Amino acid sequence: MNQRPLLLTQGDPAGIGPELSLRAWLERDRAALPPFAVLGDPDHLARVAAMFGWSVPIAPVAPEQIRSAFSDALPVVPLSVAVSAEPGRPDPAHAPSVLESIDRAVRLVRAGSAAAVVTNPIAKHVLYDAGFKHPGHTEYLAALAAEGGAETCHPVMMLWSEQLAVVPVTVHISLSEVPSALTTDLIVLTGRIVARELRDRFGIDRPRLALAGLNPHAGENGAMGTEDARIIVPAVDILRAEGIDAAGPLPADTMFHARARGRYDAALAMYHDQALIPIKTIAFDEAVNVTLGLPFVRTSPDHGTAFDIAGKGIARPDSLMAALRLAARLGRA
């Protein structure tokens, strides 16, 4: 039986999301992309395509028509509001269409009409100006999952590529807040979710986790900080007692070279940049953001809205195409 299609959200319509969506469809055969539809304004996408001179037929469709339309046109599930965005000009007035696209994608996937949600980038500061109350994209998806009847979930951000998968235990907080936000319970919860999803969605029978130390040299036996011994070591012990293959805390400066990466399936870093610097160095154009811990599959490209280059036709669709392929793979699981 054919797999259900994917749903690609609009993202901020003034960013690079619309042109990436169009380019992904243009490269669908070369990149071996699964059928997908954009939840957006068909007229807006047609205007963007015309601006670049791209021959992209746009087909407004219902969800059940996505697969049959995909080979000949870019399927678009229309929103209830028109989109009049100009590339590179973010505006809080676009917030209703941004949120409607996400809302409908989640509802349709949870209803079984699609296999997964792939999200184009949003600009949180633009949504904040429109009254958005959630810390970010991931937290909003978790709230939508809860509205749909899911038990309280703890979303975990993983950046994945064929060469490296990393998970920041603490995410979008200042570096000064990390030591107080980092707890043994948080590390254990994150490790459990990562191990479970690597097994259930990625098909890894016995996932291997490597936990980075917080301090240089993982604390150097307390000479460079006590958090590693007080917080991370007990978390590793708990995970191991539960049968999870966990190692650490390990000095972060020696965790990411090629030989070290062969010893684990995912690295748990203690803060945002400790995780994202290595993967964006190793796989800048191919890395995918995967949200673990949700009751549905969600992936996204590992970059932002890039308002500075929107409308110039130079944005690369590699990460979005990788996100589509990975979403299809995880959706099959």
Q: Give CA–CA dist 324/289, Å, rounded.
A: 11
Q: Is the dihedral of CA 9, 14, 17, 22 positive or negative?
A: positive
Q: Give CA–CA dist 30/32, Å, rounded.
A: 6
Query: Tokens standing for 58?
Result: 């746009």
Is residue 312 annotated as involved in ligand binding?
Answer: no
pLDDT, residue 1, reads: 43
> Other CB atoms closer than 10 Å to residue 147's CB: what's the count?
12
Is residue 134 annotated as involved in ligand binding?
Answer: no
Do 22 and 36 form a contact (C-beta atoms < 8 A)?
no
Provide the 3-class DSSP secondary structure of residue 268: strand
State the Cα torsion 256-201-26-303 to the nearest 10°: -40
Q: Give CA–CA dist 98/80, Å, rounded.
A: 11
The backbone region for 190, taken as left when phi is positive above 0, alpha when psi lies in -120 to 50, beta otherwise, is alpha
Q: What is the pLDDT along the chain (333 residues), one digit of tens a residue?
A: 468 999 999 999 999 999 999 999 999 999 999 999 999 999 999 999 999 999 999 999 999 999 999 999 999 999 999 999 999 999 999 999 999 999 999 999 999 999 999 999 999 888 888 888 887 888 888 888 887 665 567 899 999 999 999 999 998 889 999 999 999 999 999 999 999 999 999 999 999 999 999 999 987 888 888 999 999 999 999 999 999 999 999 999 999 999 999 999 999 999 999 999 999 999 988 899 999 999 999 999 988 999 999 999 999 999 999 999 999 999 887
Structure pTM? 0.90
**Domains located in the chain, CATH noted:** 6-152+294-332 (3.40.718.10), 163-279 (3.40.718.10)
Dihedrals phi, psi of 286, to nearest 5 degrees: -115, -10
Q: Give CA–CA dist 36/24, Å, rounded.
A: 10
Do 173 and 274 form a contact (C-beta atoms < 8 A)?
no
Q: Give CA–CA dist 133/97, Å, rounded.
A: 16
Is residue 298 annotated as involved in ligand binding?
Answer: yes
Do 157 and 171 form a contact (C-beta atoms < 8 A)?
yes
Q: At a CB cut-off of 8 Å and minimum separation 6, what does 138 contact? A: 155, 157, 291
